[in-house]
Amino acid sequence: MINVKNLSFSYKKTEGARVLSDIHLEFDQRSTAIIGQNGAGKTTFVKLLKGLLKPDIGQITIKGQDIKGKTAAELARTIGLIFQNPNDQIFKRTVLDEVMFGPLNIQMEKSAAKEKAIEALKMAGLDHHLDTNPHDLSLSEKKLLCMASVMAMETDIIIFDEPTIAQDNQGKEKIKQIIQTLKDKGKLVMTIIHDMDFVAENFERTIVFNEGKVLADGPTREVFSQKQALLQANVEAPYITQLADKLGFAGTVLSIGEFIDKVDANK
Amino acid sequence: MKKLAVEGLKYKYPQSESLALDNISFTVNEGEFIGIIGRNSAGKSTLCQALVGLVPHFYKGAYGGKVLVDGLEVKTHSIADIALKVGMVFQNPFTQVTGSKMSVYEEIAFGLENIGVPRSEMVQRIDEVLKMFKIEHVKDHNPFDLSGGQMQRMAIASIIAMRPEIIVLDEPTSQLDPGGSEEVFQAVQSLKKQGITIIMAEHKMEKLAQYCDRILLLDNGKAVDYDTPEKIFSRDDLESYGVAAPVYTKVCKALGAKKQGTNTYPVTLEEAEAVLKEIRR
């Protein structure tokens, strides 16, 4: 779906180290988590995919087409990005208008846009807030609102930047369902995230960024078994994985269910 | 004397019909580290704001009961007086940034200028917190050019520089990577060791379990329970309050592995490891 070749980027073009250098990645339908320390280049990378930044060197193709000549507006039909800080995204006066804005902007009919918006708001659990001013919502609700705004556009690729920030247990469960629904619809779901247990439970593929480079990439289980790479990237394994390692379980355990199965098998 | 005492606190936001805080009482000893947990909208942020006086002085609304901060009654003292005793780190660092300062360095100086700290001491305190939170390299940047993580570190640093006796933190690590949140918890831990009292609302249960002395569980504006992390996270009805126990506790609950000689489950990696090793023998 996405092909990234030889990608490099820096904010200051004349001096200093590059934010990203020499990235080669291919994305298929697998749900993908991008992890790594603050400042590793994760957000910059997804902004490049979305066309908000232009590469210094290298090529990005989405569904076979080079995005170089495309405007952010053209890309908006294919790729959706949910910002880390919802206040950077929200600007309309009601929740419904906010979510309808994207679909209308890509020339969806008004009635269709409304239908998509309400469907997306249902998924986000905000359909009882249609007339609320978005700025009166809590931070966690604003984050869900921004997800709905992007989901309503029905893009093939959806990228989340730190979706679980400020979410309680229930909010995390909701996001889990949203990701699953999007996966079932055949969309490529990608996320930047620091919650490793959430990664372990919900994402098929994990990519570790470190200092602007890809340090590890593969099925999530494989990546969380690469202790050396995790250490170098200053990333912790999921808590459940750490506990299983301490107890000397064979293999890499990714969920409480797997953990319990291992204990039962040993009895 | 108790460092912090909340007695029958009730509060309703203007134009709201229900109580955001409903008859909350608890006390905190000097140097204690208290975690506040509960689902979103349980009242955690409102309670934090009530401890520093933003509720009721800034938000207005209907207020009953008492909050005593180091003996000062919040309701009858100005925010300026209360701010000398207690500092607060906001949930969203963006909301906390003054917007009137052009650099991280000046932003951190803002609070110190306001309480009249002499210049030489200001310089020393600012350098100290810049180092403590690893933001020295961005000290000349505009606060709004920082990443979420850097902004959050700056927000915490600017409060810690004021050296309040009590620090209230509302989800202070939400924007940070695991390494960064661990650093914040360790910094807070070292403040606690210096006798500073810490109140923190957080969703990262594994971290609270590891560092807190006691946890206040809120639901629907009411205090459901106030006890040690072991007791709180071992409650059978925890999930009905929208709270998930630490992963370690969940596993041990599922396996029926209690801490030896107690009726509670492990809450940290080390405790879970010890208990489960015992079972596997």
Cβ–Cβ under 8 Å, residues B143 and B154: yes
Cβ–Cβ under 8 Å, residues A76 and A158: no
Q: How many Å apart are CA B68 and CA B240, to the nearest integer?
A: 31
Q: In the structure, what pLDDT confidence band is assigned to residue B78 with cuts at 50, 70 and 90?
A: very high
Q: For residue B18, is it within any domain?
A: yes
Tell me what pLDDT residue B127 has: 96
Percentage of residues of chain B with pLDDT beyond 90: 79
Q: How many Å apart are CA B240 and CA B21, to the nearest integer?
A: 19
Q: Which of B94, B203, B251 sits opposite A259 (nearest CB)?
A: B251
CA distances to A45, A61, A160, B124 from A50, in Å? 9, 11, 12, 44
Inter-chain CB proximity A196 and B242 less than 8 Å: no
Q: Which of B147, B171, B178 sits opposite A194 (nearest CB)?
A: B178
Phi-psi region of B103 (alpha: psi -120 to 50; beta: other; left: phi over 0): beta
To test the contact with chain B by mutation, choose from A19, A35, A38 the residue with the greatest count of B C-beta atoms within 10 A, namely A38
Q: Of B83, B29, B28, which is closest to residue B52 (Cα–Cα)?
A: B83
Inter-chain CB proximity B178 and A36 less than 8 Å: no
Q: For residue B241, is it within any domain?
A: no
In a shared domain, residues B156 and B265: no
Instruction: Say which range, A198-207, A222-231, B179-188, has the weakest mean pLDDT.
Output: B179-188
In a shared domain, residues B71 and B195: yes
**B176 touching A (Cβ < 8 Å):** yes
Q: Specify the CATH number for the domain of residue B168.
A: 3.40.50.300
Tell me what pLDDT residue B136 has: 93
To test the contact with chain B by mutation, choose from A141, A143, A165, A173 the residue with the greatest count of B C-beta atoms within 10 A, namely A165
Q: Is it the case that residue B113 has pLDDT exceeding 90?
A: yes
In a shared domain, residues B259 and B222: no
Inter-chain CB proximity B276 and A239 less than 8 Å: no
In a shared domain, residues B94 and B116: yes
| Residue found by looking up tokens 């109580």 in the block | B19
In a shared domain, residues B67 and B167: yes
Task: Kindly identify which residue of chain B lies nearest to residue A237, measuring between CA atoms.
Answer: B178
Q: Report the helix count and the strand count for chain B, using DSSP H and E.
A: 12, 10
What are the structure tokens assigned to A229, written together? 């790479």
Average pLDDT (B52-80) is: 94
| Residue found by looking up tokens 């469960």 in the block | A173
Average pLDDT (B117-126) is: 96
In a shared domain, residues B270 and B213: no
In chain B, residues 154-173 whose CB comes closer than 8 Å to chain A: 171
Q: How many Å apart are CA B255 and CA A229, to the nearest integer?
A: 32
In a shared domain, residues B145 and B266: no
**B273 touching A (Cβ < 8 Å):** yes
Chain A residues within 8 A of B46 when measuring between CB atoms: none
Percentage of residues of chain A with pLDDT beyond 90: 82
Size of interface A-B (CB pairs under 8 A): 101
Give the number of domains in chain B: 2
In a shared domain, residues B69 and B188: yes
Chain B residues within 8 A of A234 when measuring between CB atoms: 177, 179
Cβ–Cβ under 8 Å, residues A254 and A238: yes
In a shared domain, residues B187 and B250: no
Q: In the structure, what pLDDT confidence band is assigned to residue B175 with cuts at 50, 70 and 90?
A: confident
Q: In the structure, what pLDDT confidence band is assigned to residue A192 with cuts at 50, 70 and 90?
A: very high
Q: Is it the case that residue B117 has pLDDT exceeding 70?
A: yes
SS3 assignment, position A232:
helix
Q: Is it the case that residue A233 has pLDDT exceeding 80?
A: yes
Chain A residues within 8 A of B171 when measuring between CB atoms: 166
pLDDT tens-digit series, residues B178-191? 888 888 899 899 89
To test the contact with chain B by mutation, choose from A243, A258, A267 the residue with the greatest count of B C-beta atoms within 10 A, namely A243
**A208 - beta bridge partners?**
A35, A216
Cβ–Cβ under 8 Å, residues B12 and B18: yes
In a shared domain, residues B225 and B273: no
pLDDT tens-digit series, residues B31-56? 999 999 999 989 999 999 999 999 99
Q: Is it the case that residue A88 has pLDDT exceeding 90?
A: no
In a shared domain, residues B202 and B263: no
**A7 - beta bridge partners?**
A23
Inter-chain CB proximity B273 and A247 less than 8 Å: yes
| Chain A: residues touching B (Cβ < 8 Å) | 36-39, 43, 84-85, 87, 138-141, 162, 165-171, 194, 196-197, 234-236, 238-240, 242-243, 246-247, 256, 259-260, 263, 266
Inter-chain CB proximity B243 and A85 less than 8 Å: no
Q: Is it the case that residue B167 has pLDDT exceeding 90?
A: yes
**B243 touching A (Cβ < 8 Å):** yes
Q: Range(s) for CATH 3.40.50.300 in chain A?
A: 1-71+158-169+184-236
Tell me what pLDDT residue B248 has: 97
Q: In the structure, what pLDDT confidence band is assigned to residue A173 with cuts at 50, 70 and 90?
A: very high
Q: For residue B38, is it within any domain?
A: yes
Tell me what pLDDT residue B281 has: 66
Average pLDDT (A3-14) is: 89
pLDDT higher at B249 or A91: B249
Averaged pLDDT score across all residues of chain B: 93
Q: How many Å apart are CA A7 and CA A10, to the nearest integer?
A: 11
The Cβ of residue A248 has, within 10 Å, a number of other Cβ atoms equal to 8
Q: Which of A38, A235, A256 sits opposite B176 (nearest CB)?
A: A38
DSSP state of B136: G
Highest mean pLDDT (candidates A14-28, A89-103, B211-225) = B211-225
pTM of the model: 0.90
Cβ–Cβ under 8 Å, residues A153 and A101: no
**What's the Rg (C-alpha) of chain B?**
19
Q: Domain range for residue B78?
A: 4-236
Inter-chain CB proximity A39 and B147 less than 8 Å: yes
Tell me what pLDDT residue A204 has: 97
Q: For every residue of A204-221, which 3-state class applies, written as one string?
A: CEEEEEECCEEEEEEEHH
Q: Does domain A1-71+158-169+184-236 have CATH number 1.10.150.530?
A: no
Inter-chain CB proximity A169 and B269 less than 8 Å: no
Question: ∠ CA A31-A138-A98 to the nearest 5 degrees?
Answer: 70
Average pLDDT (B55-65) is: 94
Q: Of A27, A257, A15, which is closest to residue A158 (Cα–Cα)?
A: A27
Highest mean pLDDT (candidates A165-169, B123-127, B131-135) = B123-127
Inter-chain CB proximity B40 and A170 less than 8 Å: yes
pLDDT tens-digit series, residues B128-162? 999 988 899 999 999 988 877 788 899 999 999 99
In a shared domain, residues B38 and B110: yes
Tell me what pLDDT residue A71 has: 85
Instruction: Say which range, A81-90, A129-138, A243-252, B269-278, has the weakest mean pLDDT.
Output: A81-90
Q: How many Å apart are CA B64 and CA B71, to the nearest integer?
A: 17
Q: Is it the case that residue B3 has pLDDT exceeding 80?
A: yes
Q: For residue B46, is it within any domain?
A: yes
Average pLDDT (A28-49) is: 93
To test the contact with chain B by mutation, choose from A128, A194, A199 the residue with the greatest count of B C-beta atoms within 10 A, namely A194
Q: For residue B231, is it within any domain?
A: yes
